[in-house]
């Protein structure tokens, strides 16, 4: 059947799909708009499936905190190319996903994708957008953090994000300090808040590395263990957040910096995520 330019434009306005895709969908659906939308969604599913093995190494990390500052979330919405990451439709969908995640607190990515947004789920909207854009799109990372005070930091390239939870703030305004610590986490990538939070398998590995290094240096076997434990303490100092030298003032550790802002203030937890 003949499809008018007005009908094609109407479907385009409704869906955001390309003109030729809209015309083809209307022809296939004999002018029925609901069937044409279904056709476009199926096209999106087809595109999504055909690109399932593609790498999504570009994208944007979105962040949000609650008004009282006690909750924060990070969502990494990813795509195949930097060109698409700058697309207004991609950014708008990422912001919508962030809002739904924040308001509904889903347990994981699959639960987030199952949330209803109007007549469709978030997952269906991502598939639909895949059809429009022609690239694989996905929610790669979803993290949440709750603490006495949560501060977020997104690096300028929008591909690195941090949540840091502070405790013992004593009612003080500590967002600037939280941002300093979040930037420290972004730059130095600590493995844990302090040595008590380091995975036992990592500790065991570092001890074995220390022993091997000592043996290669020809140290006596009787002091190998002691040397390895000394190297482990150095590892803790360099790789756990509270013991690290503060990048803005190397005379202070993060522990001493925070204590100077508010007596006893410390970091309860942090999350650091990257794209690519």
Q: Specify whether the CB–CB gap between 254 and 266 falls below 8 A.
A: no
Cα radius of gyration (the chain):
25
* Residue 1 pLDDT greater than 90, yes or no: no
Residue 73: band (very low, low, confident or very high) from pLDDT cuts 50, 70, 90 = very high
Average pLDDT over residues 145-157: 97
Q: Specify whether the CB–CB gap between 77 and 137 falls below 8 A.
A: yes
Closest to 258 measured CA to CA, from 250, 249, 267: 267
Instruction: Give the count of beta carbons closer than 10 Å to the beta carbon of residue 190.
Output: 22
Delimit the domains of the chain by residue range.
5-50, 52-146
Average pLDDT over residues 119-146: 93
pLDDT of residue 254: 98
| Reduced DSSP (H G I as helix, E B as strand, rest coil) percent helix, strand, coil of the chain, to 5 | 50, 20, 25
Closest to 10 measured CA to CA, from 176, 19, 2: 19
Q: What tokens does 265 get? A: 């203030």
Q: Specify whether the CB–CB gap between 265 and 174 falls below 8 A.
A: yes
pLDDT tens, residue by residue, 82-129: 999 999 999 999 999 999 999 999 999 999 999 998 888 999 999 989
pLDDT tens, residue by residue, 199-216: 999 999 999 999 999 999
| Domain covering 52-146 assigned CATH 3.40.1210.10 in the classification | no
Residue 245: band (very low, low, confident or very high) from pLDDT cuts 50, 70, 90 = very high
pLDDT tens, residue by residue, 23-60: 999 999 999 999 998 898 888 888 788 888 899 999 99
Q: Which CATH class is domain 5-50?
A: mainly alpha
Place of tokens 């790498």: 55
Average pLDDT over residues 67-95: 97
Q: Specify whether the CB–CB gap between 60 and 160 falls below 8 A.
A: no
Report the distance separating Cα 34 and Cα 155, nearest Å.
Answer: 42
How far out from the chain centre does Cα 2 lie?
A: 47
Percent of the chain with pLDDT over 70: 100
């Amino acid at each position: 059947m003949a499809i008018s330019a007005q009908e094609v434009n109407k479907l385009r306005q409704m869906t955001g799909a390309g003109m030729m895709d809209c015309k083809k969908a209307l022809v296939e659906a004999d002018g029925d708009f609901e069937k044409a939308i279904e056709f476009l969604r199926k096209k999106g599913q087809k595109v999504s499936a055909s690109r399932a093995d593609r790498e999504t190494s570009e994208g944007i990390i979105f962040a949000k905190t609650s008004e009282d500052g006690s909750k924060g979330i990070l969502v990494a919405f990813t795509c195949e190319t930097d060109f698409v990451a700058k697309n207004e439709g991609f950014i708008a969908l990422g912001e919508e996903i962030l809002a739904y995640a924040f308001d509904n607190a889903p347990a994981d990515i699959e639960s987030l994708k199952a949330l209803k947004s109007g007549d469709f789920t978030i997952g269906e909207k991502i598939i639909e957008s895949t059809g429009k854009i022609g690239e694989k799109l996905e929610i790669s990372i979803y993290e949440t953090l709750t603490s006495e005070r949560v501060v977020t930091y997104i690096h300028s390239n929008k591909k690195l994000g941090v949540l840091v939870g502070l405790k013992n703030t004593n009612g003080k305004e500590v967002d600037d300090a939280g941002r300093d610590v979040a930037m420290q986490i972004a730059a130095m990538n600590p493995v844990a808040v302090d040595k008590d939070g380091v995975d036992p398998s990592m500790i065991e590995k570092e001890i074995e590395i220390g022993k091997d290094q000592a043996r290669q240096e020809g140290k006596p076997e009787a002091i190998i263990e002691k040397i390895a434990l000394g190297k482990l303490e150095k590892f803790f100092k360099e790789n756990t957040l509270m013991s690290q030298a503060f990048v803005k003032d190397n005379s202070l550790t993060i522990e001493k910096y925070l204590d100077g802002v508010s007596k006893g203030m410390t970091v309860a937890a942090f999350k650091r995520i990257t794209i690519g």
